[in-house]
Amino acid sequence: MAFRTKKQYILSKGLDEYFKGVHSAWKFTGLFFKEVFKRPFHLREVINQSFEIGLKSLPLISLTGFIVGIVFTKQSRPSLEDFGATSWLPSLIGIAIVKALGPLVTALICAGKVGSGIGAELGSMKVTEQIDAMEVSAINPYKYLVVTRVLATTITIPVLALYCSFVALYGSYLNVHAEETSSMIAFYQSAFKTISFLDIFTSVTKSIVFGFTIGIVGTYKGFNATQGTRGVGRAANQAVVLAMFLIFIEEVLIVQVANWFRFF
Amino acid sequence: MKELHNIIHREETVISITGLHKSFGDLEVLRGVDFNLFRGENVAVLGKSGTGKSVLIKIIVGLLTRDQGEVIVLGQHIDQLVGKELDTLRLRIGFSFQSSALYDSMNVHQNLAFPLIMNRKTMSKAEIDFAVDEVLDSVGLANKNKQMPSDLSGGQRKRIGIARTLILKPEIMLYDEPTSGLDPITSAEIIDLINEVQERYNTSSVIITHDLTCAKNTANRIAMLHKGRFLKVGTFDEVFGSENEQVQGFFNYNFIR
């Protein structure tokens, strides 16, 4: 096809590259669902990866969750005080943390920490031919490296999100307790009073989707790393940026779908 | 260095390549390669960087696919195999990478045990440990079990890389630049190891190199690759006795005469 201008050529080439990338990512994701039900399951590696992802993210998740709980409570109090509605504070915090902040904060932290780690690890294995070495030893690298890591993030991130919500609520309780005498049981009861089963279900579903996204994006970027050490850095960076972008889109879509269910 | 004592079975071809073409985009790397490897034979593929030497052995092991031509390895068309059939064939081929490609999150023992754990499900832990010790001994690194790849020298990494392929007892060995980046003494040790492997495991080998010393001391035949085609195939003396300008040019840039 002849191009009239250089701009047309660049645009066409850019679009071509973009759609090729989308197609390749789609195929990569589709392969996961094909391979995940096939033997061997590499359960030991899934457990190892879950342990690595979960345990190593725990300090950061704890600290962030705790601070989010305190800061959110501190900043909400003055507005509620204006309306004489400070007694609603636990419910407000409960809704905000369980429905939105817990899963989202955990996903963003894990996208940065776990996603970049997976991207860099697999990227480095790719450029040093370790993935090829697996393939020539009749070991399926997709099954051993990708499926195990994606399963690990999909299982671990919902657990971390629930833990993050719990810690954030505890931080909020400490702040409430510092201002007024309140028991922890009363605070938690009040916080969960307005939260339905659908809210918890939506929150866990969101975390599962976020976990899958972080795993699949990290492994995809790592598995397709090129151009030596520079490519490894780029894979890690792109894994974080793309995962975060997709997490925000998924957040909006899942909340919208959950709201439709609420009307039925 | 030892002399070659391998017995070549010329009636049995283990690798047969005809009219092989391979391109990457607009870059045509292989332009009609014809090649045979007989059982028990060592062939060195020589050529400048970027002439497609590594591409050739990556096609042989199925890491890359051919554009045109026929590649038959141990009686099977490699590009027609998928899944279990391809894995079964790959277990009969050893591939030693230029960079050694050791798994850097595993120690030496784990690196060597990994292919066995994944492919020989019936082996007990004691049998795997014995196999690892045996193969480590055969490459002269019996005491390096617990070391991480980052703690090893370049020559040791090459040896462990070769050991990892030997543990599956392959019939064909493909060496990608086995002596590149090594000092002359370590290169000589790797050359001896290649010959020992051939004698001990009775393998047929393709050795990709641009090191004439390595080619002369390991190969029964030399194949000179230039611009995607074999210029000359024969014994060392036949190839480098030729009047061909390209062959002579390559020869003159090396120290060996």
Q: Provide the token pair at B32.
A: 């009609």
Question: Letter for the amino acid at A104?
Answer: L
Q: Which domains does chain B have, with CATH numbers?
A: 1-92+181-257 (3.40.50.300), 100-169 (no CATH)
Share of chain B above pLDDT 70, in %: 96
* Cα(A22)–Cα(A6) distance, integer angstroms: 24
Query: ω into residue A40 within 30 of 0, thus cis?
Result: yes
Residues in B touching A124 (Cβ below 8 Å): 104
B256 touches A: beta carbon within 8 Å: no
**Are β-strands B9-24 and B27-39 bridged in parallel, bridged antiparallel, or unpaired?**
antiparallel
Contact yes or no for A130 and B87 at CB 8 A? no
Residue, of B238 and B37, whose pLDDT is higher: B37
* Cα(B17)–Cα(B6) distance, integer angstroms: 23
Predicted confidence band of residue B257 (pLDDT cuts 50, 70, 90): very low
* Cα(A181)–Cα(A187) distance, integer angstroms: 10
Q: How far apart are the first and last CA of chain B?
A: 17
* Cα(A172)–Cα(A77) distance, integer angstroms: 11
Could you say which of A40, A130, A136 has the minimum Cβ distance to residue B90? A136
Contact yes or no for B103 and A137 at CB 8 A? no
* Cα(A241)–Cα(B192) distance, integer angstroms: 50
Interior angle at CA A160, CA A154 and CA A30, nearest 5: 10
Angstrom CA distances, A104 to A17, A101, A156, A157, A204, stand at 31, 5, 14, 11, 11
pLDDT recorded at residue A131: 96
Contact yes or no for A138 and B97 at CB 8 A? no
Quickly tell me which residue has 């909006």 as its tokens.
A252
Query: ω into residue A103 within 30 of 0, thus cis?
Result: no
Contact yes or no for A136 and B164 at CB 8 A? no
Q: Provide the token pair at B98.
A: 């230029």
Q: Give residue limits of the domains in chain A.
A: 41-263
ipTM score of complex: 0.91
Q: What strands, in cross-sheet order, belong to the sheet with B204-209?
A: B93-96, B172-176, B204-209, B42-46, B221-226, B229-234
Dump pLDDT digits (tens) for B87-125: 999 999 999 999 999 999 999 999 999 999 999 888 999
For chains A and B, what is the number of CB pairs under 8 angstroms? 54
pLDDT recorded at residue A136: 95
How far is B164 from chain A, CA to nearest CA, in Å?
9
pLDDT recorded at residue A261: 84
- pLDDT of chain A, 264 residues: tens digit per residue: 566 788 888 888 889 888 998 999 999 999 999 999 998 889 999 999 999 999 989 999 999 999 999 999 999 999 988 888 888 899 999 999 999 999 999 999 999 999 999 999 999 999 999 999 999 999 999 999 999 999 999 999 999 999 999 999 999 999 999 888 788 899 999 999 989 999 999 999 999 999 999 999 999 999 999 878 889 999 999 999 999 999 999 999 999 999 888 777
Predicted confidence band of residue B255 (pLDDT cuts 50, 70, 90): low
* Cα(B140)–Cα(B193) distance, integer angstroms: 9
How far is B236 from chain A, CA to nearest CA, in Å?
30
Contact yes or no for A138 and B119 at CB 8 A? yes
How far is B95 from chain A, CA to nearest CA, in Å?
7
Contact yes or no for A128 and B104 at CB 8 A? yes
Q: Which of B157, B160, B117, B112 is nearest to B139 (CA)?
A: B160
Predicted confidence band of residue B254 (pLDDT cuts 50, 70, 90): low
Cβ neighbours of A11 (radius 10 Å) = 12
Contact yes or no for B103 and A128 at CB 8 A? no
